[in-house]
Amino acid sequence: MKRALLGTTALIGASLGATAPAAAESPIQLSVGGFFRTAYMVVLDDDNSGPNNTFQEPGDDKAEDGVFSDAEIHFVGRTVLDNGLEVGARVELEGEDDSGDDGDQIDEAWIWFSGGFGEVRIGSDDEALANSCVLPPGGTANFSAFSPNQWGANSLNVVPPLGAVSNSACSGVDDRGDAQKIIYFSPLFYGFQLSASYTPNPDAERHGDGVGAHIGMPPKGFVDDPFDPDSDADSDASVYLTYSHQGNDWGFTWGGGASWEMGTDDSEFFNFNDQDFYQTGLNVYFGRFSIGGAFEYFHDLDSFNRLDIPLSEDHNAWVAGGGIAYAYRAWTFGAQYSYRQDTVRTESFGFDTKTEQVQQRAVATVNYALGPGINLDGEVGYTWRDRDPGTLDGTDEETDDDYDGLELGIGTALSF
């Protein structure tokens, strides 16, 4: 698979090189853009703890309100050669400094070549499914029922094995979403467009991950810990196809694709299954009104077999939901709903157990276009979750198996 993809890349490079050398009409010109999103949110949720609680409720000892921001500055350099080939580079600088172990001042950075053949990107960017996927209308820059910029509900899972999950319906298998990769976007052909990506090292994005100036190849990300295992696929691949049609005061957009891990490493203790995700979405527009839905299936999320003891885990999940929006002058009113179900089956020393969790989220949103690139938005959202069984031993003791939270938010979104 790697050889085939590298061969394809070589053919693209050969086709570009076959053109007679040409000087650029002008040197690469730099432009600056970006966005700044901020929101004030209030959350009212489960926050009690007591003698009948084995674990703290998710909202216990959490702030009831807060101000949250997300900002990036985009530096884009581009030029067009005499032969029509466009060449450029894009670097996205984070507006906030994350100084943790995964801190990264740069979000995405890539170069591109585009022309009649489509566009090729090389660098740190989302994979094809995450880049092109279709999500329902009704969300805003800050708020959504799926995986929004601002998620106020404290929907963390204290009881394993589910961890912290959102209702994302637009996720690929890369360990780091912006891992270094090659992405291809085809030209638009009768409404169809194909995108495809190849990620050689799915957890490697930054120089510190071994993908900067280097001697030797980057290490694999496997952590051989029997109590906290981690794995890294040899490589990932993703494809996504979209189709759009515009009629007289109506239209629709459909998209569908998949993302795969290839060759997940084994260890002394674990044999991990390759993950594979599948997504589709459809939006229909009628004048000022739009409606749509999306679905994503996550196969083999952290599914594994222990090699030293008789223990295996099979984790699958799916997300489905929809949304509507109505635009009137500078106002857009929307609503979205999402439903996520996780199913974990564990076999240990001859005993089979099944844990199932359902997390639902509904939001009503409003957006007001104050001016070009200046938006005000708000939401009323409700998130509720139920786990069966609620505890590890299957008793009815109250834990954090059930959760509900009401969130109120108001925000701004500036783009420049």
In the block, residue with structure tokens 């709903």: 337
d(CA 136, CA 138): 7
Contact 139, 170 (CB under 8 A): no
Q: Which residue has the higher pLDDT, 299 or 266?
A: 299
pLDDT tens profile 145-160: 998 888 999 887 655 5
**CA proximity to 168, closest of 377, 385, 317, 334:** 317
pTM: 0.87
Q: Can you give the residue ranges of every domain in the chain?
A: 2-15+30-214+233-415
Which pLDDT belongs to residue 127? 97
Q: Is the pLDDT of residue 165 over 60?
A: yes
Q: What is the distance between the alpha carbons of residues 264 and 173, in angstroms, rounded to a whole number?
A: 12
At 203, the pLDDT band (50, 70, 90 cuts) reads confident
The angle subtended at Cα 383 by Cα 340 and Cα 354, nearest 5°, is: 40
- Determine the length of the chain: 416
Please give the single-letter amino acid code of residue 275. Answer: Q
Options 3.40.50.280, 3.40.50.1950, 2.40.160.10, 3.40.47.10; CATH of 2-15+30-214+233-415? 2.40.160.10
Per-residue pLDDT tens over the stretch 373-405:
999 999 999 999 988 875 544 444 445 457 899
Residue 19 clears pLDDT 80, i.e. is over it: no
**pLDDT tens-digit series, residues 116-151:** 999 999 999 999 999 999 999 999 999 999 988 889
pLDDT tens-digit series, residues 281-323: 999 999 999 999 999 999 998 888 888 888 889 999 999 999 9
pLDDT of residue 13: 40
Residue pair 79/88 in contact by the 8 Å Cβ criterion: yes
